[in-house]
Each structure stands twice: as C-alpha cells, then as structure tokens.
Amino acid sequence: MKILIYGFGRMGLTHFSILNGLDSNHDFYVIEPNKLLRTILSKNIKAKFYSDDSALKESFDITLITTPPSIHLQLLEKSIKRGDKKIFIEKPFGGHTNINFDDINVTKNIYIGYVLRFTPSIQWVKSNINSQEIKSIHGQYLSNTIEKKPTGWRNGHFSGVLNEMGSHVIDLLQYIVGTNQMDVVSSKKESIISDIDDIVEATLKTENDVSVSIYLNWVKKDVRKPIFEIEIEMKDGSKYFIDQQQIKKYKPNGDFIGIVSLTDLIEHVPFYLRGTDFTNQMIDLLDNGMIMANVNDALGVNRLMNKILNHENNIGR
C-alpha cells in the first residue's frame, strides 16, 4: 500500500509509527520542507522523503495531511486531483473560517482526525446510550496549556481553544447526539493570554430540541493535566458523567449506580503508541472508516465554531 504523509512533525511521526507498526510492508512517501529535518529522518526512517510534491503524479492509497491548518485546503485539493483513494486530515480541519468547500465531492473517502471518538468510554456511550432519549448534554475541556502568549499561526484565527480543543468536544457532542444541526442560543469568549480565545462557553439547541452546552478553558491554572468531560442527562432523569478514564452512572433520584472504568473497556491492539485510540483510528482508516469523522462531520464542526464566535451576543475574532 502506498501512503503519503504531508508534514512530519509530532502527528505525522505518530501516524507513520502506528501504520508501520501495523504493517511494515507499506511504502511511505513523506513531504517535509525542512531540509535539516528531512536529512536526519531519511537516515533513520524507512520512507522516501521529498521537499515538495511536484514529482508525485500517481495516486496514493492513503494520504495523511498533518500540516498546520492554513494549508489543509490546498493540500486536500491536490490530493483529490491526484486521485488519492483515502485522505486523512488532522484536526482542526482548516479552522473555523473554512465552512464551505463547494468543490469537494463529499462522497469521497475524506476523514478528519477527531481521535477522541476512539476513546473506549466514548465507544461505550455509543453502544449503550440511546441518542433519542438524551435530554441534555454538556462537554468541557480544561487545561493550563497556555502560560505565555503563543506565536505564529497558534496566535491567529486558525488557533484558539475553540479551534484546537473545542473542535474535539463539538465533534464528540455531534457524534453522541447524532446530528450537527444546532443553533447557538448564547456564547461568550475571553482572551486572557493570547490574542484569540482562551475561554469559550456556549449554549446550543439541536433540531430535536436537545440542550447542548460547552465550556472550554486552557488557561485554568489549577488544572494539572488536560481534562475532557461529558455530562449526559436522559429524558427519564438518569445521568452519565464521562471522561477518558471512566463512566459514572446515576439513577433519576440521584442515587449512584456504579462505574464503568477504563480497565473494564480496554482492548488489546496490535501496536500501541499514545493510547489505543490512536491505533484504533489508524485501523479504522485502513479498514472502512466507519467510526472516523468524515468531511461532512468536520464541516459541521467548523460551521458551529463559526456560529459560536460570531453569535450576536459575542464579538467574532
């Protein structure tokens, strides 16, 4: 299988390592413009390295785009034109300003790297909670990631807590409730350290009248490790509290039912790196892509981020 990787930073290297670990017979081609990095990597990694893609005319079985989001669209268009069979793009998919790609055939196999879908606790939710019975859902992300003003694209409209981390949360909420059709009821953002959004909160409503809310804060100084959390209230009053380690279940009267822990859900994977979720994401890419977010899902996330940042009660950046 011929696999092309645009960009060989942390995520490009992660996906390469997993795919190579799953099957060492893949033929890898890497586009890395940094000459020094290209020279070092070519001595240690079994792949063909190029400074650009001008010499690559034939289609690839899989293309992975792991570059900064500002050039996602450009590389996606090249990949489609070349006839690449599957295209995987790291999130955030072009940022919140990219909300409509008219020239993209959305029936193509285009997938976005919202890896939290593969967290065992999220897969438990998809298998055990009826989305039609959800009354409300809340998602939040907390960290102390930004301690000084970022530079480059990370301090511009392709970044911010909503683009970089909130996109994960929004994708999970859409994935769980089964729709990306949501209206923004209210929203608020704050810039504490960066010139963009460091704190974002919003309330929304789905087309089926499910109440949705998010809270994102990556300048919360009392948080030691990043936290993703989801709270679900069902129509019968029962509640679920979900994070990356466990699911807590409560009866409608508030009585505690029990915990489903990560150790109950963890499964063996043929190659382990950075957690089973990253490996299972690449397995799904090699297979039929049934779990991964597709381009329609990702555009839904982008449109919702755009609505949140430009809501009438807010000031768009």
Domains in the chain: boundaries: 2-90, 116-271+292-309
Instruction: Write the burial class of residue 258 (CB in 10 Å: 0-12 exposed, 13-18 middle, 19+ buried).
Output: exposed
pLDDT over 70 (residue 200): yes
pLDDT over 80 (residue 53): yes
Instruction: Write the burial class of residue 172 (CB in 10 Å: 0-12 exposed, 13-18 middle, 19+ buried).
Output: buried
Helix axis angle for 120-128 and 167-177, nearest 10°, is 20
> What is the pLDDT, as a whole number, of residue 187?
95
> What is the pLDDT, as a whole number, of residue 153?
78
74-83 tens-digit pLDDT: 999 899 999 9
The pLDDT-based confidence of 32 (bands split at 50, 70, 90) is very high
- State the DSSP code for 26: P
Sheet containing 62-65: give its strands across. 48-50, 27-31, 2-6, 62-65, 86-89, 109-112, 293-294
The pLDDT-based confidence of 95 (bands split at 50, 70, 90) is low
> What is the pLDDT, as a whole number, of residue 93?
81
- Please state the separation of Cα 171 from the chain's center in Å: 7
The pLDDT-based confidence of 275 (bands split at 50, 70, 90) is confident
Place of tokens 């670990």: 21
Place of tokens 């989305």: 131
Cβ 192 vs Cβ 165: under 8 Å: no
For range 87-106, the mean pLDDT: 70
Nearest Cα neighbor of 49 from 99, 83, 4, 9 is 4
Torsion of CA 212, 138, 66, 275, to 10 degrees: -150
CATH class of the 116-271+292-309 domain in this structure: alpha beta
* 3-class state of residue 35 by DSSP: helix
For range 49-76, the mean pLDDT: 93
Q: Is 261 left (phi over 0), alpha (psi -120 to 50) or beta?
A: beta
Note the CATH architecture for domain 2-90: 3-Layer(aba) Sandwich (3.40)
* 3-class state of residue 143 by DSSP: coil
283-306 tens-digit pLDDT: 999 999 999 999 889 989 999 999
Place of tokens 């089964």: 178
Helix axis angle for 276-286 and 10-22, nearest 10°, is 70
pTM for this prediction: 0.91
